Amino acid sequence: MKDIGMPELSLILVIVFIFSLISLIPAWRIARKAGYSPALGLLFVVPVVKMIVLYIFAFSDWPIERAKSDRS
């Protein structure tokens, strides 16, 4: 079996970087629309942290929802 060389490793790193950027843009927008700091979307770059932040988004009360309920 052939070892992975520098060109293959570089290609893998470029692909991982591109997919990280692709997931970063929607995460940034979702965090902003939910009332969180958009910088929270930067945590989507780290794979394990991405799942934790996703669960926080899914199961917590969003600041934007709390602000709407306070107005009424």
Rounded distance between C-alpha atoms, residue 16 and residue 32, angstroms: 24
How do residues 8-67 score in pLDDT, each as one tens digit? 999 999 998 888 888 888 888 988 888 888 888 888 878 788 889 888 888 988 888 877
Q: What local confidence, expressed as pLDDT, does residue 14 receive? A: 93
Q: Of residues 71 and 14, which shows the higher confidence score?
A: 14
54-70 per-residue burial string, b: 16 or more CB within 10 A, e: under 16 = eeebeeeeeeeeeeeee
Q: What local confidence, expressed as pLDDT, does residue 72 receive? A: 64
1: pLDDT confidence band, cut at 50, 70 and 90?
low
Q: What local confidence, expressed as pLDDT, does residue 4 receive? A: 79
Domain ranges for the chain: 6-71
